[in-house]
Chain A
Amino acid sequence: MAIMSEEARIKRIADAVKAHPKDGERISLPWQDTQRVFPVVKLELEALVLNPNSHRIRAQLESHPQREVVKDSPYGEEAQEVIAVLLSETEHFEDLRNNLREEGQRDPGVVTHKGLLVNANSRLVAMRDLGQNYIRVAVLPPDATEAEITALELRLQMQRELKQEYTFTNELLFVQELTTKYNRSPEQIALDLRWAASRAPRELEKGKARVEQATRLLSMIRDVQEISGNTIPLADFDEKRQALIEIDQLYQELARREPERARKVRDTRLVGVLVGLGYRELRRVDEDFLPDYMIPAMEDSDLLSKHVPVLTSGRAAPGDAVPGLEILPTPESPGAEEPDPAPLLELLAKSRGESSIEMTGEDGPILLTRESVIDSVRTAMESAAEEARADERAENRLQAPIDLVKEADRKLRKALKSYERMRKVGEFDHGKFAYIVRKVDRTVEQLKDEIAKHP
């Protein structure tokens, strides 16, 4: 794929703008709190470069083997090819391409005077695919500042954001970028993303809460990535949205009162996420799960039994203490002495992408396949969850006879009312009704007999 040099691009675009006729196409775009009109010109595809910061591919790019190339020379051919491939793999790319084939380009894209696409990245790739040669773009003036371009980019992205769905992690990154790159407050972000429908305090509050949740979820993911030595790609979490939200909610509930327990529950659930535990089982993981259910289940596992103490005991902080911690109160948090899933979490996170895991056995280190460890942990968690559920049911069982009879009584009274209304209707089957009532009567008699037997 041929791309013009930056110098050539600047000249080509300047020429096109100069040649723009008085009655040529123009477009009005948001510019510094107002609208401003920009000329729209028709350019060869080679005169433009893809934007390496496109939000749609941010998460994928982050764990791409060639990410360094993209970072170092983003407008080189190799980098541009990487971006093009990632864009063509996004979810709605096919639809976009079909649409361009059938209807052609509708809205113009936007480029800087150097030919860097501010938007229309996916469209450019699709048009190339379709063998089209030209694209219509609005050109920003050479004196546009970085800040102005950034602001326009944000506005255009906002408009698109509302049209297309982002993947879960790309959405989190977008929120993060709005905070760090654009310095938007949580309330502004809520409005940007329409997470707050209006400026009404209640709406803002709701939207802000969602922005803060996104920050916490990304932080949780980043923390696990950090533990893994950055071997776990972001995209691994795309399917875990609901699980992570529930982990966060539980953590927030517990953190105030019992921060230490809150962290342990969170880490135990994250272990569950890493080994692919189902949602239903994940929800069973509470403060008691690890000590009361999971550890006994791990002790029953041939593979894990010997390693349980190592995998579930907290470790002392490593190395020299960093300055400034001495004045903090030593946590006398409940649960400090209880088992800690952190080593297990770290083991699983760090070994992502490897085939085996080294564990400390009685006679020195032994190698286990990672798959077998993951399977054993998941199996242990599943049976622990089953156990926990059985215990809960046993508690419910005591209540069951009472609840069932109550429910039957309620239904019978409803039947009485409905019978009063229906009995006069011609086709009502009185015989059948009377028969079933006699059956109910017999069952009730049996119940009474049982009660009489055990006074």
Chain B
Amino acid sequence: MNVPLIHIRAQAVPPLVEVQRGDGVSDTFWLLVRAEWGSDGRVPSRSILVPVERFLSRLSWLPPACNRYRVGIDWDSRAEELIRAARSEREILTEILIEGNLPRVDVDARLAPGRFRRPLRPFQERDLDHVLALPHGANFSVPGAGKTAVAYATYEAERLAGRVRRMLVVAPLSAFSAWMEEVGLCFEPVPVVSRYDGTAIDPNAEVLLVNYQRLIFSYSDVAEWVGSAPTLVILDEAHRMKRGWSGEWGTACLNLAYLAQRRDILTGTPAPQSARDLEALLDFLWPNQARRILPADVLLAGIAPPEAARRTAEVIRPLFVRTTKSELGLQPPQYQAVRVPLEGLHADIYRALLDQHAGHFDLSRRDRVTFAQMGEVVMYLLEAATNPALLAAGSSRHDPIQFQHPPLEVPPDSRLADLLANYGRYETPRKFAELARMVEANASLGRKTLIWSNFVRNLETLRRMLRRYRPAMIHGGVPSELTQPAAPETRESHLAQFRHDPQCMVLLANPAATGEGVSLHDVCHDAIYLERTFNAGQYLQSVDRIHRLGLAPDQETRITLLLTSGTVDDVVDRRVRDKAERLGSMLDDRGIVTMSLPDEEDYGPAIDDEEDLVALFAHLRGDDAD
């Protein structure tokens, strides 16, 4: 039978399909082709280029139109393979979701002949069993559950099965150190791990690390690497590509998906805002299938109904694993709040500050401007509660951006101005004195102390005050080795000092700069908070630096909170306790919960909800005094 043809050819990088108009294909049919697949390409009247995603998601119009207009299709082998692969993935996914039973995997047998040496904990083994039974896995376990080790084990098992030959890890920079360290613990002999810096890809690399930003800039090089051998592609902190096709990171990841032999995603917070965030993540694992499997109302724009996350989890349950916080089997830390009184000049300053701000706010407003203004007021209150000397100094340029604020405006002849001028001369903040006493006590027992403050100026003051303990220090002004390898002092060098130098008894840290990648549970069991903000997520994450998997079962972890009575410290303490409880219950949820934890790109504001505002207003009015 002789009919006009369209010719369909697939191109590997970036994944594109070229559709060519053969002789005799009518104008109207070609118009239909362009209406469905677009008019991109140099000569759209003869041939168009279609992103694979668009091509595969728009196929159903083709058979009826081809029959009606009597146009046939000539596929090249790559295009045919694309269609077949999409088809079989779709069938497999349907089977997993409908049948729900996954093949049993004998993980030990699969790993035995290989290089994987790290003993896994029971929950990690359970997660690995499940992930290996899936062609593409999702690990939504909480931070600290060892997702990296499980991912390495997945890779080794798939490599031994002949399915993949190498592995690409897309991860934020801050997670690189975990991948670098873990590989040595997991493998013997150790595979070559290479960090891609945009120049040339190490030809010996078996594991390639690339960050999301770099992936966009060097997409074609990375894509070529992935496409030229069977590759496992892992997205670490995968929620960062949640914007999918409407974001650059998402687009790069989703395009990469078509080139990967196996795909896995890792994140403890798969749905930071709403269940809808899962669409892009699922589309990475199962290209073009998310819209087919997610509940319809979850996909609608706007705010998904509150129980949507739960329903979504039910629908996609077979596709992911999640280890909860309590499954890690950690002994809860011991908390101790140490109160210092508000007295003398300090008390006068604090009350004068309250007076200065109390009248300034329309307490019924809850809008963004109010949040921003109150964010600044919180800075002043926190400073005044801990160290009034900061009020006149303003923020350090190394403070995280959410903490940047100008010096407090004090009318020159006001009482507050007098008080502030006298303060530095006569008083040392009570918390600092208390802190010095605690550090000394710890040091005499041979215990290293981790000290948290949100203000870089406080950290710098403490560094001078505690110099006989040789403090290490991490804040926004100390660069990471990854971004500035040549810097004389780096976060890595300070961390190494705290870990290995027996003289170094103190680490001074800023939560914004000391994120998920840092673990100190092997050297330090005492943390002291000089002050905290309303952001409970940051706080919980900072606690996890010394309280995490790998801690000896009988090891105590001691957390001390320094509070100045009658100040904003009390307000923060109440609110953080409430919120931490809520977050805690989410971390113990086996399903999918809409929650986000701070990371260095989205660190989060000092005040994060309306109830914080209400509590603050009450404090400003003096309504919260007991």
Contact = CB atoms under 8 A, between A and B. Distances in A.
Interface in A156-196: 176, 179-181, 183, 185-186
A142 interface: no
B1 to A, nearest CB: 6
B83 A327 contact: yes
Contacts of A212: 38-39
B28 A186 contact: no
Contacts of A176: 31
B67 A324 contact: no
Interface string B244-272: 00000000000000000000000000000
A226 B29 CA distance: 10
Given A323-B1, A325-B63, A219 B43 contact: no
B39 A186 contact: yes
A43 interface: no
A257 B60 CA distance: 11
Contacts of B58: 255-256, 259
Contact of B5 (A216, A218, A324): A324
Interface string B38-69: 11111111000000000001111111101111
A328 B84 contact: no
Interface in A92-118: none
B83 A321 contact: no
5 contacts: A176-B31, A215-B35, A317-B67, A322-B72, A333-B60
Given A321-B67, A324-B5, A325-B73, 9 more contacts: A179-B39, A180-B45, A218-B31, A219-B35, A222-B28, A259-B60, A323-B3, A323-B74, A329-B90
A323 B44 contact: no
A220 interface: yes
Contact of A185 (B27, B44, B67, B83): B44
Contacts of B63: 317, 325, 328, 331
Interface in A310-352: 317-325, 327-329, 331, 333
A169 to B, nearest CB: 13
A322 B1 contact: yes
The 5 lowest CB-CB distance pairs between A and B, nearest first, are A324-B73, A219-B35, A180-B45, A259-B60, A323-B72
B77 to A, nearest CB: 11
A324 B38 contact: no
B74 A324 contact: yes
Contact of A323 (B42, B73, B90, B291): B73
B366 interface: no
A382 interface: no
A183 B72 contact: no
Interface of A: 176, 179-181, 183, 185-186, 211-212, 215-216, 218-220, 222-223, 225-226, 255-257, 259-260, 263, 317-325, 327-329, 331, 333
Contact of B44 (A179, A317, A333): A179
B577 interface: no
Contacts of A211: 39
Contacts of B617: none
Nearest to B81: A327
B104 interface: no
A317 to B, nearest CB: 4
B70 interface: yes
Contacts of B291: 256-257
A28 B9 CA distance: 46
Nearest to B70: A322
A321 B73 CA distance: 11
B521 interface: no
Q: Which of A186, A256, A320 has the most CB of B within 10 A?
A: A256
B32 A317 contact: no
Nearest to B79: A327
B28 A263 contact: no
Contacts of A180: 27, 44-45
B57 A256 contact: yes
B423 interface: no
Contacts of A331: 60, 63
Given A324-B72, A324-B73, A325-B66, A216 B35 contact: yes
Contacts of B500: none
Contacts of A328: 59, 62-63, 83
Contacts, number: 110
Given A180-B45, A321-B67, A259 B61 contact: yes
Contacts of A329: 59, 83, 86-87, 90
B75 A324 contact: yes
Contacts of A325: 62-63, 66-67, 72-73
B44 A183 contact: yes
B297 to A, nearest CB: 12
B385 to A, nearest CB: 40
B464 interface: no
A327 B64 contact: no
Given A328-B62, A328-B63, A219 B31 contact: yes
B122 to A, nearest CB: 40
B292 interface: yes
B32 A219 contact: yes
Nearest to A333: B60
Nearest to B43: A183
Contacts of A327: 75, 80, 83-84
Contacts of B1: 320, 322-323
A220 B3 contact: no
B59 A183 contact: no
Nearest to B6: A324
A222 B71 CA distance: 16
A320 B58 CA distance: 24
A219 B34 contact: yes
Contacts of A260: 60
Interface-central residue, A186, A222, A321, by most chain B CB under 10 Å: A222
A341 to B, nearest CB: 14
Given A176-B31, A223-B32, A215 B62 contact: no
A215 B39 contact: yes
Given A179-B45, A180-B44, A327-B84, A185 B31 contact: no
Given A223-B32, A263-B61, A257 B292 contact: yes
Given A257-B291, A260-B60, A325-B66, A220 B73 contact: no
A426 to B, nearest CB: 32
A211 B1 CA distance: 36
Contacts of B42: 183
Contacts of A319: 67
Q: Which of B31, B69, B83 has the most CB of A within 10 A?
A: B31
B66 to A, nearest CB: 5
A216 B86 CA distance: 26
Contacts of B39: 179, 185-186, 211-212, 215
A226 B45 contact: no
A222 B64 CA distance: 16
A21 B85 CA distance: 73
Contacts of B45: 179-181, 183
B102 to A, nearest CB: 22
Contacts of A183: 42-45
Given A218-B31, A256-B57, A185 B80 contact: no
A205 to B, nearest CB: 11
Contacts of A256: 57-58, 291
B490 to A, nearest CB: 37
A286 B118 CA distance: 58
B32 to A, nearest CB: 5
Contact of B71 (A215, A219, A318, A322): A322
Nearest to B33: A219
A388 B241 CA distance: 41
